[in-house]
Amino acid sequence: MAEVAWLVRRPLIVGDKSVAQVTRDICAAMETRPSALWWAGFLAALSLLGLGVTAISYEISTGIGTWGENRTVGWAFDITNFVFWIGIGHAGTLISAILFLFRQRWRTSVNRAAEAMTIFAVMCAGIFPLIHMGRPWLAHWMFPYPNTRGSLWINFRSPLVWDFFAIATYLTISLTFWYVGLLPDLATIRDRTASPWRRRIAGILSLGWNGSTRTWQRYEVVYLLLAGLGTPLVVSVHTIVSWDFATSLIPGWHATIFPPYFVAGAIFSGMAMVLTLMIVARKTMQLEDYITPRHVDIMCKLIIATGGIVGLSYATEFFMALYSSNPYEQFVFLNRATGPLCWAYWTMVSCNVLVPQLLWFRRVRSNLVLVFVISIFVNIGMWFERFVIIVTSLHHDFLPSSWVSYRPTCIEVATLLGTFGLFFTCFLLFVRLVPVIAIGEVKAVVSHDKLSGGTHA
Amino acid sequence: MLTPKLTAIRLPGIQRGYEPEQPIRFSHRLHAGEMQISCQYCHSGAERSRHAGIPAASVCMNCHRFVTAPLGAVRAEDELAAKENRPPRRVIAPELRKLYDALGLDDDLRRDPAKPQRPIAWVKVHNLPDFAYFDHRPHVAAGVACQTCHGPVETMERMRQVADLTMGWCVNCHRDANRTGIAGHPVYASIDCAVCHY
Amino acid sequence: MSAEGANRYWRALEERGAATAAEGPDEFAARREGIDLFLSRRGFLKAAGFGAAGALLASCARAPVQEAIPFLSAPEEIVPGHALYYASTCAGCSAACGMLVKSRDGRPIKLEGNAEHPLSRGALCAAGQASILGLYDSHRLRSPLHRGQRASWEEVDRAVGERIATISKNGGAVRFLSSTITGPTIRAEIDRFLGSFADGRHVVYDPLSCSAILDAHERTHGARVLPRYLFDRAEVIASFDADFLGTWIAPVEFAAAWRAGRDLEAKPPRFSYHVQIEPLLSVTGSKADRRIRIAPRELGPALSHLAGLLAKKAGLTFSSPPPADPELSAALATLADRLWQARRRSLVVCGSQDVATQVACNFANEILQNYGNTLDVERPSYQKQGNDRALQELLSEISAGKVAALFIAAANPVSELPGGENIAAALDKLPLVVSFASHRDETADHAHFVCPDHHPLESWSDAEPVAGIISVTQPVIRPLGQTRSLVETLSTWRGRPTPAYEIFQASWRSRIFARQSQETSFQRFWDRAVHDGVAAVEPARFSPRPFDVSAVKPAAPAKAGAAEGLSLVLYAKVAMLAGQHAENPWLQELPDPISKVAWDNYACLAPATAAALGVAEGDVVRLDFGAGSLELPAYVQPGQHDGVVAVALGYGRKGTARFAGIGPRWLDAEPSVGRDGLVGVDASGALELTDGVLRYVREGVRIAKTGRTRPLACTQTHHTITVPDMFAANGSVRRPVVQETTYAAWQGNPAAGREGEEAESEDLWPDDHPYNGHRWAMAIDLTACTGCSACVVACQVENNIPVVGRDEVRRHREMHWLRIDRYYSGSQAEVDVVYEPMLCQQCENAPCETVCPVLATVHSEEGLNEQVYNRCVGTRYCANNCPYKTRRFNWFNYPHQDPFANLVLNPDVAVRSRGVMEKCSFCVQRIQQAKIEAKQAGQPVADGAIQPACQQTCPAGAIVFGDLNDRSSRVAAAVANPRRFRVLEEMNVRPSVNYLRVVRNRDETDGEKSHG
C-alpha cells in the first residue's frame, strides 16, 4: 500500500496525458515513415545478420573444426553465446510476469519491449544448441519419438535433454504471453490504421477484440494466469541451463551454487539489455514521457541488487574452492584469476562487480548517458562471465598433459555478431510493427482517479 | 510396442520385399525346396566367417558338371536321338550356359582357352548399413534357422528380402531369444551396442 | 604355433600360387569388393549425415544396388571376411623383427609381432607397425625408369645388359652400394653378380652408423663384428650415449631383453641397474635409473677413465685421467664399483662413433669378463654391417670418376650422407648408375636406371639378423605394380633369369639346410621355416682372436680448444630414424616420445642455454657449423646438456612434398610443410665423414635468432605433473596422477609410493552393472613402458584413425585414441621422466555416459564404455566431462581420397564421419571375434586370446588385457599387485585401466621424492 500511496504522489507518466493522446503518441511510431536513423540501424543489423548466416552455413557445410575448439576445450563461443542470450531473455519474463504479480505498475511502460526482447533473445540462444552439434541434421534425435531401433529412446539423465525441454517451454510461454498482451493494442491498430492490409492482418490477429468489459475481464484473467505460468520459468530455465555445468565433474563447473548464481546473473544481464534498448528507444521514438527517468532509476536499482548477488557468487565460488581443499578446484579458480585467460576474468569482474557500483549514486542513475554506458559494460561483462566459466574451467582440467590454450576463429566471432544482427533486426522490425508500449496498460496508470479506484487485475 | 505398427508403412531405408533381378535365374525353391540341398552346402561361409558368402562357381559345378539341363529336356533329347538313332547330344539349359560361360567352358564342359573367365556378379539382396557388423557364426552356432531371418527361402523362385532388417527387428529377436531360448535350449543373446556397432 | 593356427599359414607357394594364378581376376574382384565395401561405408556415413534430412525422398528410393562377386573357384584357405595370418619378416629397419601379416580377403591390413620369434618376441616398433602403409603407397614406382622416363623391363634389361657387357669387357670398376642387408641369399646373389666382373665390390653403409663398433672389434678381436648384446643377462647396464631402447641397432629386441632384466613379478624379482651417460635426453635415458648429462667431447675420456678404474680393480696397468667435472668422476667411480661387483653380469655399451672410445668400451667389457656372457662375438649380430671407411673410399672413387658402374639398393646416399649435392654431381658423371629404389628419391633422380624392387610384402626374401637365426619373408599379395625383386633383376642381368622363389629355395637348400640337423627332408624344413617365419640353424662360427690389450690407448682429456660454441648433435627419432620412413604420414604425425612434437624437426636446447640465448620455443634459429647452416625452430628440452644443440636427422626429404595438402582444407588451414615445401629440415649436411667414420657430432657451432617464429605442433603443452607455483594453493603442488617409488622402497614395502587411499568407498550409484559374464580390464606397467609409441601407431592402424596433418595437431586436434603422456620431474637440468599411456579408461561410473543426450555412449554388460558412432550427434559434452580427455572428435571429414591407401583400412572398424565422437574401444572388434570363436569351439575365452593392438605390439610387454572375472587371468593378477594404482582414483569413476607404479632402481627409500 505504501507503494501505491507513493505512486499517488508522483505519476508514472509525465505531462499528464489524455487517454487519446497516449494512443496517439505511442501509435505515432508505427504511423509515420521510418526515420533515416531507423533505416541506418536496420541495415546495419541486417548486414550483421547476413554475416552470421554466412558464418553458420560455412560451419555447417565444413565442420565444427572451423571453430577454435579442440580436444580439451569442447565448448567455447557456442555455449557461451547460448547462455548469454538465454540470460538476456530473463529480464523480459521477470518484468512481465513477476513484476505484474507484484503490482509493480511502472512495468507497464517497458514490459512490451522487454517481452519482445525475451523472444528475440531466446531465438538467438536457440540457434546454438543446434549448430554446436557435430551433425545438426540429426538434431531430431534429441527428441523422444518411437522409432524402429527397438525402440531406442533418449537419455533422460542428460542435462542437454532437460535444456531442450526447458527452452522449448520458455519460448512457447513467452510467445503466448507477449501475444495475449498485444491483443488490445492490435485492436487499436485495427481501428486506427488507414491501410486496408494492416487492418485485415490486425483484425485477424486481434481475435475480434471489441473492448467490452467482458473482453477486458477475460483478458485480465488470462493474463494473470499466464503471468502465474511465466513466473516459475524465470527461475527454472536458467537453473536448468546451469545444470549443464553443475551436474558435470569438471572443476569450476560442478558447483551447487550455480542455479541461483545463474538466475541472478540472467536477470542482471537482462535488465542491462532492457536499459540499453529503452534508453535508445525513448530518445529516438519521443517516448520520454512514458519511459521516464524514474523507470530507469528503478531498473538501475534492480541492477545493483542482482549485480550484488552476482558479485557475491564470484566471491563464494572462490571461497568454496579454497575452503574445499580440493586441489583441482583450487587450481581452477587461481588459474582463472592469474592464468593465461585472466584478462577475461578481470574483464568480467570489473564489468559486473565494479562498474555497477556507480549506480549507488542518484546522480549517476539520473544521467541516462552514463546509465547507458554502464548497461553496455554489464552486457559485455556478463558475456565474459559465461566465457570464463566455460573455457577457463575446461582448458586446464585434471591431467596437466591435456592442458591447452584456446583461441576463437573468425567464424566464431562472426557467428556471435550474427546473433546480434538477428536480435536487432527483429527488434527494429518490432518497434515499427506493434506498439512498443502496452497502450492498454499504460492508460491504466495515466489518470489518478483510476489509480485510487483499485486495479483491473 | 509401436514398432510393428510403424514398420507396417515402409519407413525410409527399409528394403523389405527387395527382390532384384539376378544375372542367373537361380531358383532356391528348386535347390533348397525340391532338391532339399542344405543351405550351408552352398553358403558354407555361414559357420566359418562373418559372411555366409555366395558360393563360388566351382561349387555349382560339383553338381552341374553332370546336371546340365532339366530331366525332361534330357529325356526328350534321348528319345529324339533314339528316333534319329544317333548318340544323344548334351543338352544345356540356357541359364546353366551362363554359368559355363562364366567359367569359360565349351559345350563339352572343357575349359576353352579362347573364352575369357569372368566371375558372376550376383546382386546382394540382404544389405545391412556398413556401421552394423553382423556375424553369421554365432547365430548358426546357436542353432538359429536360416529362415528366421531370410524367410521361407525354399519356396522362393527369386531371392527376396522378407525381414525388414531394422535394428529393432534384430534387438527384439535377441530379447525373445533370451526369454524363450532357441530350438528348446537356452541361449544368451546380448543387446549391447558393441555387439554390432564398432 | 598351435595346430589349429598352423593351417592358417601357407605351407608353400604352390598351394597359394596355384590358387592365385588360376583365379587371378577373381582375387582382384575380391579386392575390389574390399574397396567397394570401404567406399560404400564412407558413402553411407555421409548419407547418414544428410540422409535424415532427405529422409522422405530416400523413402521412395531403393538403396543403391550392391553386387557380390564370388570366386569362380575358391582357393582352399580363403573364406571371405575371414582373416589369415602369414609369418614374415619386418623390413622397417635392418633389425629384421619377426612378424605376422594379417590378410583379409587377399589384402594385408595389419602387421603384428611374431611371438615365436626369438629376437623380437612378438613385438614390433612404431616404424614396423606403420611400414604396411608403404605397400599401398600411391607414390611408389610402378615400373622401371630410364633417365626418369617410364620404361619396360625389356628395354631396361637390354640397355643395362649392353652396358654391363662392355664394362666387364674392359674391366671397369663395378660397385654395389647398399645399407645393411642381413639376408644371406640376397648377399650371396649380390656377390655372385659382382663376381662376374673383374673389379666388383659391395660397399655397405648405415645412415645410422655403428661402424666404429665394428672397427673397434677389428682392433681388439681381429674381426669387424658387431657383438650381440644380451641386455636380459645384464644386472648393471652402463650406456654411453647408446639409445638402445629407441633407435640403436635393434630397439625392439633390446627393449624386450631389457624388460626381461627388470621383472619385479619374477620369483625372485630381478631388477637391473641402468646408468645412461648422454648429451641429450634419449628414450633410453628417460628410463635410466641414473642419468648423467655429459658434453659429447667428454664422452670418450669418461669411458676411458671408467675403463681405467676397472683396470685398477682387475690389477691391470691402465689408467686414464679423470674428467674435469668432479661430480662426473665421482659418478664414474660408483659406477665402476657396481660394474665390478656385477662382473660377467654387467654390460657397457657405447653409441659413440669414435673408434678409440669404442675400443675403451670393449676393454671395459673385457675386464668385466662380459664377453661370452652379456655380449656375444662368437655368434655376432649382422644388423649393422656398415663400413664407413669403405664408404669414404667409394665416395672418393666416385668423385674421381673411377667407377664404371654403380648399383644402389636400399640406400639414399644423396640425402643421407654429408655433401649430398657433390655426390649427386659425381653420380651424374658416372657412365652407369642403377638404383633399385621404390620411389623417385634424391638418389634415384641421378640414376640412369631405376629398377624398383618389390615391397617386402610382395616378395620372397630372408634375413639373418643374428648369426644362426634366419627369418623368412614371404609374399602375401601379388605385386601391385610392374616391380621386380632385386635378386630376380640381378639374375636376369647375370643372364640367368630365375624367379625369386626358386632363387631363395635353391639358396636355402644349398646354404641353410645344411646348417641344421633336426629336419631331414628339405621340403619339411622349408615348409616349417615358411610357416614359423624363422629357423634356428648352426651359426657360421668364428673364434675371435684373444683380446688385444695393445689396441687400447688412454684417451686424451677433451681439448678445451673446442669449447667455444655449442656441440651440434645429430640424432634419430624413433619414428623417422634416418628418414627411410619420411613419406609415412602415420610416422610423421606420431609425436616424438620425448618432445611430443610431430611433423617437424627442431633445434633442441637446454633450458639454461635457451634462456641465455633468449630463445623461446618456436623461435626460428640459425645454426652455423662452418660447412653450412641450418634454420629451424627451437625447442627447449629439459635434461639436455647445456653445451649441446640437438637436431633430428631424416627430415626435409624430397618425398615429403606430398604432405603439402594433407589434412582438412578450410579457410584458416595451414600446410603441413615448411616454407621450402618439405616437412622439417634436412640436417644431413651437418654430418661429417672423416677418417673412416661417419660423425654425428660437430663442435663449435654458432647459434643465432632469425626473428622468425614457427609454432611447433606439440601435443603436450604442460610438461610436469606439478602445478605452477602461482596456482598452487596450500599443498596442492603435485598432482598424484602418476605414482612412483624406488626399488629399495619397494623391497621394503611393495605398496610404497601409494598416494591417497584406494577409493573403494560406498557408491551412491545404483549398482546396475553386475558383470555376470566377462569383465574386461587392462593393466599398464609404467616401470616397463619405454614410451616408444609403437602402441600408438598400432592403434592407429587397427582402428582406422585418420591422419589430420600438422595444422590440426598444432590446434590440439590430433586423433590418436592412445596417447603417451610424458611428465618431467626434478630440476630443469636433472629430470626424471615418466611415461603414462593414456587411453579411454572404460570407467565403471563413466561421466561421459550420463551426459550424452542420445545414448551414443553407454555401458556394456562386460564393463566396456561403448561409443556408437552412428548414433552420435556430436555435442562434445562427453569429451568435456571426461576427466582423462581421451575422447577424440571428428572436427572435419578427414580426407580418405587416396583409394589406394584406403586398401589398408581395417574392414572390421567403421570409418568415422565428421561430427562424431570416437575413442578407444579396447579393440572391441577383437573381443567380439574371440568371443565368437570361443562360442563356436564351445569353450570359454582363454586368457590372452584377446590382445588389443597396443598390447600385441608392445616391445616391453607393459600392457596386459583380460577378463577380471577370470581369477587366474594375468590382468587379475596385475590388479592384485600392490604396485597397482588408478589415475584420478579419488573421482570414483572406477576406471578399468589400471597402472603399475613406476619403480626406479635407486637407494633412497622415500618413494615420493620431491617433484619440482
The 10s digit of each residue's pLDDT in C791-849 is 999 999 999 999 999 999 999 999 999 999 999 988 888 889 999 999 999 998 899 99
Question: What is the β-pairing status of strands C403-409 and C173-178?
Answer: parallel
Mean pLDDT for the stretch of residues C352-370: 93
Q: What is the pLDDT of residues A23-40, one digit of tens each?
A: 877 777 777 888 888 999
Report pLDDT for A298: 87
Q: Which of A167, A169, A140 is nearest to A243 (CA)?
A: A167
Report pLDDT for C973: 95
User: Is residue B114 classed exposed, middle or buried when 0-12, 13-18 and 19+ CB atoms within 10 A define those classes?
Assistant: exposed
Please say if the pLDDT value at position A8 is more than 70. no
List of chain A residues whose C-beta atoms are within 8 Å of the C-beta of residue B2:
146, 151
Interface of C with B in 867-926 (CB under 8 A): 868-871, 908-910, 921, 924-925
Q: What is the pLDDT of residues C866-904, one digit of tens each?
A: 999 999 999 999 999 999 999 999 999 987 778 888 999
Residue type, C984: L
Residue C763 — very low, low, confident or very high, per pLDDT cuts 50/70/90? low
Report pLDDT for C27: 38
Report pLDDT for C729: 58
Please say if the pLDDT value at position C774 is more than 90. yes
Q: What is the pLDDT of residues A312-333, one digit of tens each?
A: 999 999 899 888 888 888 888 8
Angle at A101 between CA A96 and CA A105, to 5 degrees: 70
CA distance C167 to C193: 13
Any residues with CB less than 8 A from the CB of C350 and at least 6 apart, and which? Answer: C213, C239, C240, C241, C242, C299, C303, C357, C358, C360, C361
Report pLDDT for C985: 87
First to last CA, chain C: 50
Report pLDDT for C559: 61
CA distance A170 to A126: 11
Residue A188 — very low, low, confident or very high, per pLDDT cuts 50/70/90? confident
CA distance C864 to A424: 49
Q: Retrieve residue A115's grid coordinates.
A: 517481452
Asked if the Cβ–Cβ distance from A150 to B2 is below 8 Å, we say no
Any residues with CB less than 8 A from the CB of A40 and at least 6 apart, and which? Answer: none
Sequence-ordered alpha helix ranges (H) in B9-70: 28, 39-42, 57-64
List of chain B residues whose C-beta atoms are within 8 Å of the C-beta of residue C870:
129, 131, 197
Beta-carbon count within 10 A of B25 CB: 12
Higher confidence at residue A373 or residue C547? A373
Q: Retrieve residue C178's grid coordinates.
A: 647398399
Mean pLDDT for the stretch of residues C270-293: 94
Q: Which residue of A has its CA nearest to B168?
A: A150
Mean pLDDT for the stretch of residues C198-209: 93
First to last CA, chain A: 15
Residue type, C883: P
Please say if the pLDDT value at position C321 is more than 90. no
Chains contacting A (3+ CB pairs below 8 angstroms): B, C
Mean pLDDT for the stretch of residues C702-725: 86
Q: Identify which of C721, C823, C873 has the shortest CB distance to residue A134.
A: C873
Using N-to-C axis directions, what is the helix angle for A410-433 and A111-131, rounded to 10°? 150
Report pLDDT for C1010: 39
Asked if the Cβ–Cβ distance from B194 to C870 is below 8 Å, we say no
Which site among A141, A148, A151 would you substitute to test the B interface, given the most B Cβ atoms closer than 10 Å to its Cβ? A148
Please say if the pLDDT value at position A456 is more than 50. no
Q: Identify which of A137, A164, A396 has the shortest CB distance to residue C49.
A: A137
Beta-carbon count within 10 A of C137 CB: 20
Please say if the pLDDT value at position C916 is more than 90. yes
**Dihedral, CA of residue B109, residue B114, residue B119 and residue B122, to nearest 10:** -70
Q: Which of C780, C1002, C754, C801 is nearest to C909 (CA)?
A: C801
CA distance C646 to C567: 8
Mean pLDDT for the stretch of residues C374-380: 91
Q: How many helices (H) and strands (E) does chain C have?
A: 29, 44
Mean pLDDT for the stretch of residues C479-507: 92
Is the minimum CB–CB distance between C890 and chain A shorter than 8 Å? yes
Average pLDDT, chain B: 88
For residue C1005, list its beta bridge partners: none
Report pLDDT for C34: 38
Looking from the CA of C186 toward its CB, the CA atoms found within 13 Å total 25
A124 and A422 Cβ atoms separated by less than 8 Å: yes
Beta-carbon count within 10 A of C978 CB: 14
Mean pLDDT for the stretch of residues A115-144: 91
Is the minimum CB–CB distance between C720 and chain B shorter than 8 Å? no
Mean pLDDT for the stretch of residues C276-288: 94
Mean pLDDT for the stretch of residues C400-409: 92
List of chain B residues whose C-beta atoms are within 8 Å of the C-beta of residue C908:
133, 198
* Whole-number Cα distances in Å, A67 to A250, A406, C675: 22, 10, 25
List of chain B residues whose C-beta atoms are within 8 Å of the C-beta of residue C41:
130-131
CA distance C317 to C337: 18
Chains contacting B (3+ CB pairs below 8 angstroms): A, C
Q: What is the pLDDT of residues B107-126, one digit of tens each?
A: 888 888 888 988 899 999 99
CA distance C644 to C701: 9
Residue C65 — very low, low, confident or very high, per pLDDT cuts 50/70/90? confident
Residue C63 — very low, low, confident or very high, per pLDDT cuts 50/70/90? low
Report pLDDT for C770: 85
Angle at B86 between CA B80 and CA B90, to 5 degrees: 70
Residue A447 — very low, low, confident or very high, per pLDDT cuts 50/70/90? low
CA distance C152 to C465: 35
Report pLDDT for A415: 95
CA distance C455 to C491: 18
Following DSSP, what letter does each residue of C873-932 receive, concatenated? ----HHHHT-TT---EE--S------TTGGGGS-TTSPPP-TT-EE---SSHHHHHHHHH
Q: What is the pLDDT of residues B125-137, one digit of tens each?
A: 998 888 999 999 9
Mean pLDDT for the stretch of residues A163-179: 89
C472 and C535 Cβ atoms separated by less than 8 Å: yes
Using N-to-C axis directions, what is the helix angle for C486-493 and C184-195, rounded to 10°? 20
Q: Which of C718, C597, C692, C690 is nearest to C646 (CA)?
A: C597
C660 and C582 Cβ atoms separated by less than 8 Å: no
3-state DSSP call for residue C615?
A: coil
Residue C28 — very low, low, confident or very high, per pLDDT cuts 50/70/90? very low
Q: Which of C971, C972, C993 is nearest to C984 (CA)?
A: C993
Asked if the Cβ–Cβ distance from A150 to B171 is below 8 Å, we say yes
Q: Residue holding cell 547330344?
A: B89
Mean pLDDT for the stretch of residues C930-957: 93
Phi/psi of residue B25, each to 5°?
-75, 75
CA distance C251 to C522: 33
Domains and CATH numbers, chain A: 2-453 (1.20.1630.10)
Residues from B in contact with A at Cβ < 8 Å: 2-3, 6-7, 11, 14, 164, 166-172
Please say if the pLDDT value at position C766 is more than 80. no
Residue A291 — very low, low, confident or very high, per pLDDT cuts 50/70/90? confident
User: Is residue A214 classed exposed, middle or buried when 0-12, 13-18 and 19+ CB atoms within 10 A define those classes?
Assistant: exposed
Q: Retrieve residue C160's grid coordinates.
A: 643395362
**Percent of chain A at pLDDT exceeding 90:** 44
Report pLDDT for C865: 94
Average pLDDT, chain C: 87
For residue C262, list its beta bridge partners: C271
Residue C760 — very low, low, confident or very high, per pLDDT cuts 50/70/90? low
Report pLDDT for B11: 66
Q: Which of C637, C571, C609 is nearest to C702 (CA)?
A: C609
CA distance B178 to B193: 16
Report pLDDT for C12: 38
Any residues with CB less than 8 A from the CB of C590 and at least 6 apart, and which? Answer: C126, C130, C574, C575, C598, C789, C792, C793
Residue C717 — very low, low, confident or very high, per pLDDT cuts 50/70/90? confident
pTM to 2 decimal places: 0.90
Q: Which residue of C has its CA nearest to A140?
A: C52
Angle at C262 between CA C257 and CA C266, to 5 degrees: 105
Asked if the Cβ–Cβ distance from B119 to C29 is below 8 Å, we say yes
Least confident of A302-316, C69-83, C672-686: C69-83
